[in-house]
DNA sequence: ACCCTACATTGGACAGAATCTAAGGCAAGG
DNA sequence: CCTTGCCTTAGATTCTGTCCAATGTAGGGT
């Protein structure tokens, strides 16, 4: 996610102040923010930015593979700027904290053809649920 | 999920006509229904049942571990009555269909201690995304 | 440097999912 | 069969996310 803006411009992405701010918010902390959290942080720098724009921009970034959408608990989707290196998630069931992990092995190989029921599988998402050190007590 | 009602009564669950119908709907087909689909099917037998009651009952069942909540991308959550045998899910990205799969291998073993960051991991959720035979075209 | 035009943004309305509320209903134990 | 406290109801409300027509603007062409 380092030179996101440069990569996007090369691919003919129209660079606007709003998009720049959204990209910078995502690039800032490597936290997994919800769309409204992204909007709130973007609005600190660009107060007139609208929610629709943030949603549109996030959808664009997901579509271009620069950001991964993570839906944890059926509540708001969260956006993971660390899309370059494939990874999975460690989720705290109490406080909602998400951490990236890089497990060994390939989960796709754990799905034998006899179990794919004619699906054309393109991605696998693995979520480890438990308690983070602070919540385990 | 066979003697669900008996198990619940033993644990002091107040048995009402509405709850009985919801449990029976879930027990019927082993499909993964959304809350509103459960409500629609329950209403066929008990027309005056309210949406809130279905939601409440499903939440109760999830909380008691009798049903698993599957949250797909921002769509409605689906409820999986097959909570007794551990399994994973095949999800169609277009129509939302969910199928149970029983992959080989243990995903938990793919998470080395060096990657668990102090979390006490209790469960793993694996979702294979792709297109079902009807949507692949 | 300026103008065009296609594309982006806005903000409010809208839609779907789920939860909350207050009033009334009823299961289960005594 | 009475009481108590949990359950149910209908509708309002919250929360996410999308859509729309009107307006603004980035960046290429001249």
Cβ <8 Å between B115 and A102: yes
Residue B136: its H or E element: helix B133-136
> Tens of pLDDT along A40-50?
999 999 998 99
What is residue A42's three-state secondary structure? helix
Interface membership of B36 toward A (CB under 8 Å): no
Q: Identify whether the C-beta of residue A11 lies closer than 8 Å to the C-beta of residue A64.
A: yes
Mutation choice for A interface testing from B65, B79, B111 by most A CBs within 10 A: B111
- Using the structure block, give the residue that is written with the tokens 């009555």: B81
Q: Where are the alpha helices (DSSP H) in chain A?
A: 4-10, 17-28, 35-45, 51-63, 133-136
Tell me: pLDDT of B1 over 70. Answer: no
Work out the minimum CA distance from A74 to partner chain B, whole angstroms: 5
Please spell the DSSP secondary structure of B17-54, one letter per residue.
Answer: HHHHHHHHHHHHS---EEHHHHHHHHHHHSTT--HHHH
Instruction: Determine the average pLDDT of the residues in B106-121.
Output: 77
pLDDT of residue B98: 80
Max Cα separation, chain B?
Answer: 54
pLDDT of residue B41: 94
pLDDT of residue B21: 94
Pick one of 1.10.286, 3.30.2010, 3.30.1490, 3.30.530 as the CATH number of B88-130.
3.30.1490
DSSP code at position B69:
E
Burial of A47 (0-12, 13-18, 19+ CB in 10 A): exposed
Cβ <8 Å between B128 and A127: no
What is residue A37's three-state secondary structure? helix
Interatomic distance B23 CA / C30 C1' (Å):
29
Work out the minimum CA distance from B119 to partner chain A, whole angstroms: 4
Interface membership of B6 toward A (CB under 8 Å): no
Residue A111: name the closest of B122, B97, B91, B74 by CA: B91
Residue of least CA–C1' distance to C26: B16
Q: What pLDDT band is residue B87 in, cutting at 50, 70 and 90? A: confident
pLDDT of residue B9: 84
Tell me: pLDDT of B27 over 60. Answer: yes
Intrachain domains B4-80 and B88-130 with the same fold: no
Query: Is the CB of residue A11 inside 7 Å of nucleic acid strand D?
Result: no
Q: Identify whether the C-beta of residue B65 lies closer than 8 Å to the C-beta of residue B86.
A: no
Residue B35: name the closest of B4, B61, B64 by CA: B61
- pLDDT top residue among B88 and A109: B88
pLDDT of residue B39: 96
Structural domain boundaries in chain A = 4-80, 88-130
Q: What pLDDT band is residue B82 in, cutting at 50, 70 and 90? A: confident
Q: Tell me the pTM.
A: 0.78
Instruction: Determine the average pLDDT of the residues in B23-28.
Output: 87
Q: What pLDDT band is residue B2 in, cutting at 50, 70 and 90? A: low
Residues 6+ apart with CB under 8 A from B134: B95
pLDDT of residue A130: 83
Interface membership of B55 toward A (CB under 8 Å): no
Work out the minimum CA distance from A117 to partner chain B, whole angstroms: 8
pLDDT of residue A95: 66
The dotted CATH code for B4-80 is 1.10.10.10
pLDDT of residue B42: 95
Query: Residue B121: which of A77, A125, A130 has the nearest Cβ?
Result: A130
Tell me: pLDDT of A2 over 60. Answer: no
Burial of A2 (0-12, 13-18, 19+ CB in 10 A): exposed
In whole numbers, what is the pLDDT of chain A averaged over residues? 83
> Tens of pLDDT along A75-111?
788 888 876 677 888 887 766 677 888 767 676 677 7
Q: What pLDDT band is residue B3 in, cutting at 50, 70 and 90? A: confident
Q: How far apart are CA B114 and CA B132, in angstroms?
A: 36
Cβ <8 Å between A112 and B99: no
């Amino acid at each position: 996610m380092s030179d996101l803006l440069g990569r996007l411009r090369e691919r003919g992405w129209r660079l606007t102040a709003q998009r720049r701010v959204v990209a910078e918010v995502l690039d800032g902390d490597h936290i997994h923010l919800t769309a409204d959290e992204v909007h709130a942080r973007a609005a600190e720098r660009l107060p007139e930015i609208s929610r629709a724009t943030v949603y549109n921009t996030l959808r664009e970034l997901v579509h271009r593979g620069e950001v991964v959408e993570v839906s944890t608990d059926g509540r708001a989707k969260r956006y993971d700027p660390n899309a370059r290196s494939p990874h999975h998630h460690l989720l705290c069931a109490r406080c909602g904290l998400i951490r990236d992990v890089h497990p060994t092995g390939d989960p796709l190989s754990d799905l034998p053809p006899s179990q794919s029921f004619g699906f054309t599988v393109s991605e696998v998402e693995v979520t480890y649920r438990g308690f983070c050190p602070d919540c385990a007590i």
